[in-house]
């Protein structure tokens, strides 16, 4: 009976952690971005600075929501450069042979 309860608790913890991750990724960035844009407007009263704050907040939100794609793309680029570097053959330079 204890094993069944432990499995239920583990399932509940996994569901709660998935919900927390969903909130952190999908709810907080737009709220924080809107708050940042409103704060910028309140402090500067400048439409240009407020527009730039909106663009900056949107870029951060986009980066957060596409973190998996960015991580995978960066990993592919790094792996490709390491494989390419391992395959390069260095040719001797003429006149540099030791005698």
Query: H helices of the chain, where?
Result: 2-26, 28-44, 47-65, 67-87
pLDDT digit string, tens, across residues 61-77: 998 888 888 777 777 77
The count of other CB atoms within 10 Å of the CB of residue 37 is 20
The overall pTM is greater than 0.85: no
Q: Which residue has the tokens 């540099």?
A: 96
DSSP structure class, residue 46: -
pLDDT digit string, tens, across residues 17-33: 989 988 888 889 999 99
Which residues, other chains included, contact 25 with Cβ-Cβ below 8 Å and sequence gap of 6+? 64, 65
Identify the three-state secondary structure at position 45: coil
What does the domain layout of the chain look like in residue ranges? 25-65
């Amino acid at each position: 009976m204890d094993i069944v309860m432990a499995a239920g608790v583990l399932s509940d913890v996994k569901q709660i952690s998935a919900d927390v991750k969903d909130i952190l990724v999908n709810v907080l960035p737009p709220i924080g971005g809107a708050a940042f844009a409103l704060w910028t407007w309140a402090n500067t009263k400048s439409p240009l600075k407020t527009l730039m704050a909106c663009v900056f907040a949107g870029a951060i939100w986009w980066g957060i929501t596409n973190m998996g794609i960015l991580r995978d793309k960066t990993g592919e680029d790094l792996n490709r450069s390491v494989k390419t570097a391992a395959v390069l053959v260095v040719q001797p330079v003429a006149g540099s042979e030791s005698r």
